[in-house]
Structure 1
Amino acid sequence: MNTRVGGDGLVGYSIRFESRCSEDTKLKFLTDGVLVRECLSDPLLKKYSVVMLDEAHERSIHTDLLFGLLQQVMKRRPEFRVLITSATLDAERFAEFFGEPVEKKSKKHKIKPCPIVKIPGRVFPVDIFHSKQRQIMGHRGPLSTYVRSAVETTMQVHNSEDPGHILVFLTGQREIEDACAQIRALYREQEKRSDGMELRVLPLYGALQGPRQHEIFDAVPVNRVRKVIVATNIAETSLTIDGVRYVVDCGFTKQKVYNPVQQMESLVVVPISKVSAQQRAGRAGRTAPGKCYRLYNKTSYEEMAQETVPEIQRTNLANTVLYLKLIGIQDVIGFPYLDPPDEDSLLDALKQLYVLGALDVTGEATALGKLMAAFPLEPKLSRALVESLLLNCSHEMTQVVAMLSAENVFVEAHYRNKKRKNREESDDEGEDWEQRMLALKEDGLLHEDGDQLTYKLLLQAFESKSRQVQGHRRDLEHWCEDRHLRFRALTMAGSIVKQLRDIIETLSRRDLDAVKEEKDSKRDAWLDDRLRQALCAGFFMNAARRCTMETVYRLMYDDGKKAAQLVQFHPLSAMSYCAPPEFCVYQELVVTSKPFMRGALAVERHWLDHYSKDKLNISVAQLYALCGRKPPVDEKDQGKQSRVDTSEVNSAETPKPVTVSVDAVAAARARFLARKKRS
């Protein structure tokens, strides 16, 4: 089309917190999450005539949600067209899902599948070799030494195969950096004894700094230099590296798995699916015939699941359910999912939204819920941001929320040649973290009340430095490197701040007038106290109280299994280096060797009492009523209820929707606009 993407021409793009489109845009690239958000204001997607979903086999939560939403649009708009594309998709299954009903009763199948078009790609043959090693999973993950096997296999390929780059798949940053260090060490030893091809070892993972990521694409003389790219599954489909002819596949990947009963997220290493194994092998045949070395035997391959477990079946669904409610779908359990999530996960999401005040007793989205959905944030964060409007601290809250929405701001330590000690510790913990965090504390960049306020200090210091050096990139990068901070994360957070403040500015008086308040805000409180209180409004369900041991906390609102609900601050938390408060809230629980609180913040007991009052005691029958259903007979008869630690909260009556004050929010918005004009 001979036009730049994102300009004023025919082709535009839209991603989270950024849109580059114009009235002339005819072709628009956008993420699945952005398209879901567009459905909130335009459920029938009237501005589009064709929607194409690429890489559908990845099964992200938003892509799965779009499958159901687009199916509904097609029923209402016969002229609307949907294209689903993938190299490894189960095409017949999707064809039936998007097919048309057949009226004839004699038909065995009542659905006429939609057309399938198969386009042969330009792929070269790939020889696949399996090892004799079987995949063995223990209680905490794989028992096989696949990292060492990957290193040895890589060196064997380098020493025996023709020119061509090597792509090695491992599960995460720590493994990748360790493997890179081992390969470099072996190559240095070998280099002393030979004058063979140069080996250039490069890591690739999501949190890698931009300049280091770009190195994998640098052109090299293929007959003299061989690149070894050690990567996560980001290299499966997201990018193509020219010249890769050899793939080493460890057979594992990292997945986040959410437990709705314990409201806990675990990052676990699991075997890949057959689809992923095929994708990885295919990377070796993109530009020439290749070879794939699988570090597992054929039996392990046959035992793999056919497809990767869809994200919608293993993640927190609160945001998804809120979107469905705002689109007008009452029965979120009966929504046409391609692969329905577990019912417990949907009930957990309904409970979260109800407790936050986003849903009323009938399951309808409240004015507060609609206001929360104006921000492209997860519900707890958007609830905190709305509360900050009341407490006259939204300007600073946008900085906190932006930092929580960007990638991890801290540069991870490299763990080369270090053995983990025989003790329980986080997978992210390194020996130098304490020194680095204490150095931030000495610089006044570590807040004693917790991580969120520390993030605010870091972003403010970064912005101050940017003004001081007049935005000179290299000076800012040096400043970040000296403090082990990610320049990219802080830059991204700054961009998110601007987008959030723009959204606040566009909120109409009518939007704000629909939100009521039952309490008097203490506007004379210190700014940081108001920020903590606003965050408590969003995260009071994630509360913990200190035990007799200063470093151990017990969750206040758990499932009744108190013995299993002991948690600690994450080693990368600011709270690990400050006096432990009696009460705290946290952004998320992450399980590695044990449960850790990430994003911890000190709060006051009376704030928890205020926000949790009359909200947490909600029965299973009430949860089903939120989507217009009756509970299963056995649960209804037993009168099951969501368990609450009644020793920590007041007894509750019928839950009431959360409300906030018209004048307070309107005045807060006026102050925000006044500050914006001054700046």
Structure 2
Amino acid sequence: MPEERGPPPAKRFRAGPGVPGSRGAMLPGGRQPPLGAEALERQRRSLPIFTARGPLLACLRSVECAVLIGETGSGKTTQIPQYLYEAGLGRQGVIAVTQPRRVAAISLAARVSDEKRTELGKLVGYTVRFDDVTSEDTRILFLTDGMLLREAMADALLRKYSFVILDEAHERTIHTDVLLGVVKAAQRRRKELRKPLLRVLVMSATMDVDLFSRYLGGAPVLYVEGRQHPIQVYYTRQPQSDYLHAALVSIFQIHQGSRKVIISTNIAETSITITGIKHVIDTGMVKAKKYNPESGLEVLAVQRVSKTQAWQRTGRAGREDSGACYRLYTEDEFEKFDKMTVPEIQRCNLASVILQLLALRVPNVLTFDFMSKPSPDHLQAALEQLELLGALQRKKDEPLVLTPTGRKMAAFPLEPKFAKTILLSPKFHCTEEILTIVSLLSVDSVLYNPPSRRDEVHSVRKKFISSEGDHLTLLNVYRAFRNVGGNKEWCRENFVNSKNMMLVAEVRAQLRDICVKMAMPIESSRADTGNVRRCLAHGLFMNTAELQPDGTYVTVDTRQPVSIHPSSVLFHCKPACVTYNELLSTNKCYMRDLCVVDADWLYDAAPEYFRRKVRAARS
């Protein structure tokens, strides 16, 4: 029988040890050939969570909210949605399973559809930004938390869902935190209106359970004990001053050069399985973004991981077999790590969040029920940005409301500044070009630069380079790609990532559809790049910098000293005035993705804003 725990209410289930050879979801490129029904069923039964199936379902039937902690590799992400469906708990609606990252949502949906012996997009589907693989028959839906938020804009009660599972909650992404508040409000409102119950399950391998339980009204905490495969953890005897060198030494000590090495980003902290991983080397460091609302600067800084992140990294080693994690820090150092990662909502630009909340018709965004409240400075900075973009109406003693422009901006799954740029494009007769540019900026880089072939890359790229900046250069690359019909050989010869370029085309088509639904005129400026640059200046006027007499640049907004990023086509140029997509601080503060603009265009875009900035600079 489950053992009762102290507050928060907790139930602990002893799961089985599992057997070698079974596995969870895998990346699309690393999936096994389809197994027979019997083999898949054996794998499901071998997962540690299987022996806890009955007691878990009994608990989930009796509560509206629960928090579930299950060890990495226990099978919770792939199995619990199936258990709920098989037990009829989600039959009256869709079972939603949210993931912080699109690759996890896609790969998990593929795995579960294999296990259910159904075509992906039928019983099991997924929805991520710019990609929807679902049908009317879909009952188990994997989707990014951002996509469920967008659905809530159209239906705040989330009526199509009977069960919402918020997975990987330990990551505390900005969308996860907002979604928690939105789902909690939908659940309460459905009860008030006597609508069908919305059940909520928050899941992770590592999490501050007290915080989540309190936020969900004292929700019971369910522990599933048992890891599929054991992991041995090793620490260093002495602190390491150079973690990069220590990582290289460890790699060669373990692998002697005879095995494949994967250098991973933070995606190694998610619930997906990368096949073949048995050894993990954890440097104890992470690159994390921090936003300063005063300077507008987003700093990408190297810092220590939290204990939660360290345990997530460790868990990658035991997904398919026993493994080992080599931590490049001492055990004493580990004990000094922060317990949890600082939530993203407390360290990022909140303009998109506020726009979404206002689109959801939240009565007062400043008092929204965040689990971890952002600082007043971050909230005010976001409100000012939206007001400058014409998205927000603020009147004394009246609630904040979106303008008609703001409502249209919220319809685009983009940063507010890019949504506004698209909405402005008909005025400059260049909607086709702006759609292309925004799409190019919405995916990973379409260009690749192998260091060993630098001269060849430079020679090939000359024909695309525009003296007017990176946006126009990317536009030239896309036009050439389209003219050759997306030919893969052409992509190889020109060092263009064909996969990412195909994704650009898909993103562009969806953004264009949104424009068509809004009855926007869609014109092309053809060879007139001046109109394209004018439009970018009007949309990105808050992201501008001016050349100083000493040859340096400062931002117009906060007078922050900045430099042109070495990857920019303008790196060796000195235009008088530029717009940029983002500021990134490493050893210096860099502007990335630049466009040459005229100062006059910026004053036309926001005359009062720039008059205020000029007065401030002179005082």
TM-score, length-normalised on structure 1? 0.69
Matching residue of 2:580: 586
Displacement of 1:64 after TM fit? 0.9
Match of 1:337, SS state, is: coil
Matching residue of 2:43: none
Matching residue of 2:145: 32
Matched AA of 1:89 = M
Given that 1:134 and 1:299 are in contact with CA atoms closer than 8 Å, whether structure 2 keeps it comes out as no
Matched AA of 2:265 = T
CA distance in 2, matches of 1:435, 1:357: 45
Q: Which of these residues, 211, 214, 233, is aligned with residue 96 of structure 1?
A: 214
CA change 1:524–1:38 in 2 (3 A) is: closer
Displacement of 1:534 after TM fit? 1.2
CA change 1:526–1:86 in 2 (3 A) is: same
Matching residue of 1:158: 255
Matching residue of 1:131: 236
Which ranges of structure 2 fall in alignment gaps of 5 or more residues?
A: 1-115, 192-196
Match of 2:401, SS state, is: coil
CA distance in 2, matches of 1:148, 1:524: 52
CA change 1:524–1:60 in 2 (3 A) is: closer
Alignment of 1:166-565 (within 5 A): 187=257, 199-201=258-260, 228-362=261-395, 363-414=400-451, 436-437=457-458, 439-441=460-462, 443=463, 445-466=464-485, 471=486, 475-476=487-488, 478-508=489-519, 527-550=528-551, 552-558=552-558, 562=559, 565=560
Displacement of 1:92 after TM fit? 2.7
CA distance in 1, matches of 2:390, 2:513: 24
Alignment of 1:11-50 (within 5 A): 11-50=124-163
Match of 1:575, SS state, is: coil
Matched AA of 2:156 = P
Displacement of 1:557 after TM fit? 1.6
CA distance in 2, matches of 1:288, 1:18: 33
CA change 1:126–1:20 in 2 (3 A) is: closer
Given that 1:39 and 1:327 are in contact with CA atoms closer than 8 Å, whether structure 2 keeps it comes out as yes
Provide Cα deviations, 1:442-477, integer angstroms capped at 9, x if missing partner. Answer: x1x1111111111111111111122xxxx5xxx51x
Displacement of 1:437 after TM fit? 4.3
Provide Cα deviations, 1:10-29, integer angstroms capped at 9, x if missing partner. Answer: 33221111212222322222
Matching residue of 1:607: 601
Displacement of 1:373 after TM fit? 1.2
Provide Cα deviations, 1:331-388, integer angstroms capped at 9, x if missing partner. Answer: 3221111111122111111110000000013331000001111111101101110000
CA change 1:589–1:435 in 2 (3 A) is: farther
Matched AA of 2:117 = N
CA distance in 2, matches of 1:647, 1:65: 35
CA change 1:542–1:242 in 2 (3 A) is: closer
CA change 1:301–1:267 in 2 (3 A) is: same
Q: Which of these residues, 108, 111, 123, is aligned with residue 10 of structure 1?
A: 123
CA change 1:433–1:261 in 2 (3 A) is: farther
Given that 2:429 and 2:525 are in contact with CA atoms closer than 8 Å, whether structure 1 keeps it comes out as no
Match of 1:119, SS state, is: strand
Matched AA of 2:233 = I
**Between Structure 1 and Structure 2, how many residues are aligned?**
494
CA distance in 2, matches of 1:648, 1:383: 27
CA distance in 2, matches of 1:537, 1:36: 28
Match of 1:77, SS state, is: helix
Displacement of 1:237 after TM fit? 2.1
Match of 1:585, SS state, is: strand
CA change 1:412–1:526 in 2 (3 A) is: closer
Displacement of 1:401 after TM fit? 0.5
CA change 1:82–1:530 in 2 (3 A) is: same
CA distance in 2, matches of 1:452, 1:647: 30
Residues 1:567 and 2:568 aligned together: no
Matching residue of 2:73: none
CA change 1:325–1:615 in 2 (3 A) is: farther
CA change 1:367–1:438 in 2 (3 A) is: farther
Matched AA of 2:238 = Q
Matching residue of 1:106: none
Match of 1:257, SS state, is: strand
Given that 2:168 and 2:205 are in contact with CA atoms closer than 8 Å, whether structure 1 keeps it comes out as yes
Matching residue of 2:221: 116
CA change 1:330–1:447 in 2 (3 A) is: farther
CA distance in 2, matches of 1:528, 1:72: 47
Q: Which of these residues, 70, 80, 83, is aligned with residue 198 of structure 2?
A: 80
CA distance in 1, matches of 2:293, 2:508: 31
Match of 1:50, SS state, is: strand
Residues 1:71 and 2:184 aligned together: yes
Given that 2:430 and 2:525 are in contact with CA atoms closer than 8 Å, whether structure 1 keeps it comes out as no
TM-score, length-normalised on structure 2? 0.75
Matching residue of 1:166: none
Query: Any runs of at least 4 consecutive aligned residues in structure 1 with deviations exceeding 6 A, and if so which?
Result: 522-526
CA change 1:147–1:525 in 2 (3 A) is: closer
CA distance in 1, matches of 2:450, 2:525: 41
Percent of pairs with identical residues: 38
CA change 1:267–1:151 in 2 (3 A) is: same
Q: What is the aligned-residue RMSD (CA, Å)?
A: 2.5
Provide Cα deviations, 1:257-296, integer angstroms capped at 9, x if missing partner. Answer: 2111111111111111101111122222233333221110
CA distance in 1, matches of 2:158, 2:152: 6
